[in-house]
Amino acid sequence: MKEKNNSKELIISEKANSQEVLTFSTNPNREGRVLILAVGGAGIPNTHYNLNENLREALEKIPYLVDSAQKIDYLALLKKDSADMTAQDVASIATTIYQYQNAYDGFVVVAGTDTMPYAASATAFALRGMGTPIIFTGATFDVQEWDTDFRLNLPNAIKVATMGAADVNAPSFGEVGILFDDSLSRATAAINRGTRSNNPIYTPRVSKLGDVGWTIKLESIAKQRHPSQLNYSYNINVNVAYFDLVSETHISSFNQLVEDKTVRGIVIGAFGAGNVPGLLIPSIYQAVYEKGKAVAVITNNKKGSSDMGLYDVGARAVKAGAISLGPMTKAAAIEKMRYALNNAKGEDQMKFLQDVARLLLTAVAEEIPKDFSRQAVNLIRDRFSKKPLPLSLFYKELKKSQANYTVKTYCRSKYTKYKILTISMGGTFYMEINSAGSLWPTKRPLGDLLDIKVNGLERLTSLDYIELHNTDSTDITHTHRKELARVIAKYKDHYDGIVVLHGTDTLAYSASSLSYMLIGIDKDVIFTGAQKPGYGSSDFDRNFVKSIKAIITRLKQPVSERVRPGVKVAFGDKLMIGSTVIKEDEHGINAFAPVEKHPVAGKLAYQIELYDITKNVKKRPFTLYTEFDSGVAYYECISAIDIRQFERLIENPEVSAVLIGGYDTGNMPQQMKYYISTAVNSYDKPIAFISHNDNGIAEINASPRIKEFIKAGGIALGDMIKESAFQKLGFAQGVVKKLGLTGHEKMGFVRKFMHTNFVGEISDHFCYAGDLVYKKIFNAKTITDIDIQKSLDRFTERYRKVRCHTKNTKRKVLKKKHKKRK
């Protein structure tokens, strides 16, 4: 049945391609000839079987569109949800423009927003050197509505596509761009932040190309129209995989891609500056030098760049054969990999790989800076033509680091009553440059760094510290977090608050994990770190002291007005709750932020401001639970993916549950619903999904399309973020294993667990909606909040509290002993 549907869609698409273009309007008083191509999106209604009639209906609903150009022609190539577009569908855009390149002064492509950065990047690579403006645009909601943004976006796109058409000396635009609202963005630098924003497409790593209003103001970085030097390429290679790293990455799911004979290129979304866990290094080495696969690395932060020589954990991946793609975005990197695999040449496996690397690092459509491109191409010129270094020369299997539980006193205050415990896990703040020129954990004691940075801290607080671990956060595992949670539980009653010093790459994962391990904690546990090494000019001292001040500021509030305690993150000028924070910037001082769908918990300036954003979250007794399930895998949707990669993931016996990173509203390729149903009903594996867009939400009461994924058994997680959802799914799975649940009873319990707001990680209205929508799906007994709390109470771990060692408590202990003797 699926094959028939696909073939039918292909026939419709081919018919549309074979049609001649139609004319919408002519206006001799205007300049420029433009061709509008449509492939789908909210801007096009679906009222006619004929695709061109749908497109014409959309154009007729835009007032004064005829005044936008001398001639407006149109052609509907297909009408698909952009999540379902295949590589052939995307390639048809460039093929059509190539066919009509000399007939028009500019082209406008109307498409869906979910995969628009992919389609626009693919078009830019396929039409290298064309020099004619190609503007992608669309709508965030239905064209039938009077206030739809399509009424603004399409005329503005035509305006940019035709500017300078009649006068070579006039300002003009000459590359592939994306236009939404009043912003013109470079196609190969764009990302989608979700349609809850007026402008869902933007470029956080580079400046936008221009502002489009009554007039058009282009930035100097925008390319002008130029004579065509077109080098057309038909890129439909589907043998590409994307692997987005999460903390304690599921190694066997990456090894599946290494062993998969259909996969020729892998793009890794790495932490921070392209940092890769040590456990992944042998797999990368095997993929490149034994299997002949191209492995490229980008940063999965919203801002920043893959600078893999900065940290030792990145430098090792380069030695293993990984190719650093600098500031390239995910969409651009995946489409560039498709382009490179399609165009590379080589007599043998390694020569082919060498040419793939050259093409990946050669600037084609401004996707990487030209200076970076030239330097990178020179550095990898002979990398794959030489015999590779033996893995043992640069990689040693990580030894399990031994926790150090010793409590040391840094200072005692005569000025204040407050007492803070600091627990160090390692990170950039505690690194120095090694002999290879990369950052590596220092061997100096933490007390030395505190002496340099916060000498005289006793004016603010008394401080004890524990050097629990000194590990690059890329290599932090669940075992490290268990040890941290148990230490906090042990000492929490002896201190006014706890500051955890942690590396930035996986700090958000650790903060989320500890939020669930320590539900109901009555003290502030604040995570912080630094973007620069502490031994030098660094943000460490500011972040560390602001964390302490945030704890003290809360304690100074009247008890009746005091904000809720809990696990939080203090970084730069923001205080955030631990379950809603992401690392968004690799280089900036304000590296962390809650995504747009969640508020901040405070401002850290000269005056500390605290906001009680969790005051409506149900209060729960303190529980310590650390037995999370480590079999959870993460799968992120990308454009034109081979859906069989997801099928193999759910068949992996080492994978116990999957979190899917969907597009806006949680959308994903329609075929996914069949595999979700198989995972839930045949393999007994829970499947949850989020929107991986900044402002996206995996809606529960959503469109009929999203409801199909829900009916299949997928658990929509509303406004939860990836880091928090991943840890919470492991938390839920851990409890379910203890309970011994299976089948629909297990699915019902996991669903209710994920739709319980423990620490402010998910909005209550999504929890209520989940209770209503999923009632009939798993046909299991109704699980209530009481059942969830009983399971936590039942399995909460015992921990030994530390006795206070102040003079007063010693006197009380001696008095009790004396009475007993009497």
pLDDT of 567 reads 98
Q: Which CATH class is domain 632-783?
A: alpha beta
Kindly provide the residue ranges of all beta strands, DSSP E only, lying in 129-198, ordered along the sequence: 134-137, 176-180, 183-186, 191-192
Q: Beta strands 715-716 and 687-691: pairing type?
A: parallel
pLDDT of 803 reads 55
SS3 263: coil
Q: Phi and psi (nearest 5°) for 149? A: -75, -10
Binding residues: 473, 504-505
Catalytic residue among 188, 329, 428, 506: 428
Contact present, 210 and 219 (Cβ < 8 Å): yes
Topology adopted by domain 2-232: Rossmann fold (3.40.50)
Instruction: Report which secondary-structure segment, H or E, holds 631.
Output: none
Active site residue 528: no
Calculate the alpha carbon distances from 689 to 115, 227, 431, 596, 633 in Å: 17, 46, 36, 19, 12
In the chain, ranges of CATH 3.40.50.1170 domains: 2-232, 407-610
| Pairwise CA distance, residues 736 & 684, whole Å | 12
Calculate the alpha carbon distances from 283 to 181, 202, 292 in Å: 44, 34, 12
Tokens in use for 186? Answer: 């470079």
Contact present, 183 and 92 (Cβ < 8 Å): no
Cα separation of the two ends of the chain: 87
Tokens in use for 31? Answer: 């300049």
| Pairwise CA distance, residues 251 & 310, whole Å | 24
Whole-prediction pTM: 0.94
Catalytic residue among 113, 203, 504, 528: 504
Task: Compute the Cα dihedral for 572, 573, 577, 583 and give only its sign.
Answer: negative
Calculate the alpha carbon distances from 585 to 201, 204, 505, 530, 724 in Å: 18, 10, 10, 12, 18
Tokens in use for 583? Answer: 């690392």
Kindly provide the residue ranges of all beta strands, DSSP E only, lying in 52-126, ordered along the sequence: 71-76, 106-110
CB contact set of 736 (below 8 Å; sequence gap of 6+): 629, 746, 749, 750, 753
CB contact set of 368 (below 8 Å; sequence gap of 6+): 325, 326, 327, 328, 361, 376
What is the per-residue DSSP string for 499-535?
A: EEE--STTHHHHHHHHHHHTTT-SSEEEEE--SS-SS
Active site residue 678: no
Binding residues for substrate: 473, 504-505
pLDDT along the chain (822 residues), means of 10: 34 48 94 96 89 95 93 96 96 97 97 97 97 96 86 96 89 96 95 86 94 93 94 93 93 96 97 94 96 96 91 93 96 97 93 95 95 88 86 85 94 96 96 89 94 96 97 95 97 97 97 98 97 92 97 97 97 96 85 84 95 96 96 96 94 97 95 97 97 91 89 96 97 97 94 97 95 84 92 88 49 49 49
Q: Beta strands 567-571 and 524-528: pairing type?
A: parallel
Task: Give domain 407-610's CATH architecture.
Answer: 3-Layer(aba) Sandwich (3.40)
Contact present, 638 and 330 (Cβ < 8 Å): yes
Residue that the structure tokens 């560039």 belong to? 336
432 pairs with which residues across the strands?
Answer: 440
Distance of CA 131 to the CA centre of its chain: 33
Is 796 buried (19+), middle (13-18) or exposed (0-12) by CB count in 10 A?
Answer: middle
Rounded to 5°, angle at Cα 319 from 314 and 323: 70
Q: Which amino acid is at 49?
A: Y
The residue count for the chain: 822
**Residue 521: Cβ within 10 Å count:** 23
Topology adopted by domain 240-394: Rossmann fold (3.40.50)
pLDDT of 737 reads 96
